[in-house]
Amino acid sequence: MNCFMFPGQPMTLANMPVGDSAFDGLARRCLAVSGFSPLEEETFAPHLTESIRLQLFGTTMSLYRFELLLRQHGLPDIMAEHSMGIYAALAACGAIDSTTALELTCRVGVCLASMGAQRKYALGSVVGLTDGPLSSFAANNDVYIANYNTSRHFLLAGEWEKIQAATVEAEAAGAFSVGVFPCDAPLHTPLVDEIAAELHSIMADYTYQEPHIPLVDHLEQRRLKAADIPRFLVEELCRPVFWEKTFRALQREGVTRFYEAGAGQALTKFNRWIDSEL
């Protein structure tokens, strides 16, 4: 079995296939729905933050890479998604169209950015510790583990100063790599419940079809049904991403080949790390 994986927000606007007609078409579609084109360094919509632009670039790249993978490998047996990769994944499996995927990315991003107007948030990358001690450091500083990527690779999310304090504790406890990065909102934490009503309102504006390719969610490793999608799109922003559990569940289902549909190779690297511990 083969699986196409859809990663979350990339870190930078890089490696764009400029001049490729398929990518150019998607970039124009992105511009039409959001005011931002991944082909331009500047945005025509000044209200869009850097995080929103990166999210839109990520969705555009994932839609583009999906088309390339289809030509190379045909339809996958199953799909998986990580964080903001859900929107491109939903388009790829036929639950929504690509224009809707880009529009949802933008509208959700703008809604999340409203949180950053009130407080300064950050992500904390911690590599080298297990989740036991890291959970303690997170609780000590009132932040949350947002991404369980591997047994020793995590993202924390919360207020900036608290993330800094938690990563200092993690480094002192032996983490061999830590980093703090600004973000619009504490994604994948209960703090997003603050805007849950607005998010539910956004999701209710769209119609969702039954996926024609099975799509496994990163929370409970279930195959999403059309009726599940609106609720899941809000729930997944308020709960952690469990990538290691998702990868292992896919392997148990018989998946042996994984292809990443997105900017970069983050999920591919996580998979290699997880495989090395089996």
Strand-strand pairing, 121-127 and 153-159: antiparallel
- 3 state SS of 236: helix
What's the pLDDT tens digit per position in 5-51? 999 999 887 788 878 899 999 999 999 999 999 887 656 677 799 99
DSSP bridge partners of 179: 125
| Domain 2-117+190-276 coded CATH 3.40.50.300 | no
**What is the reported pLDDT for 102?**
98
**What is the reported pLDDT for 59?**
98
User: Residue 201 pLDDT > 80, yes or no?
Assistant: yes
User: Residue 74 pLDDT > 70, yes or no?
Assistant: yes
**What is the reported pLDDT for 248?**
97
- Judge whether 48 and 35 are in contact, CB under 8 Å: yes
- 3 state SS of 39: coil
Superfamily of domain 121-183: Malonyl-CoA ACP transacylase, ACP-binding (3.30.70.250)
Count of alpha carbons within 13 angstroms of residue 210, beta-carbon side: 1
Q: 276: which 2 tokens? A: 């090395």
Sequence spans of domains, the chain: 2-117+190-276, 121-183
Q: What is d(CA 231, CA 236) in angstroms, rounded to the nearest whole number?
A: 9
Q: 202: which 2 tokens? A: 């956004």
pTM for this prediction:
0.95
Q: What is d(CA 20, CA 200) in angstroms, rounded to the nearest whole number?
A: 36
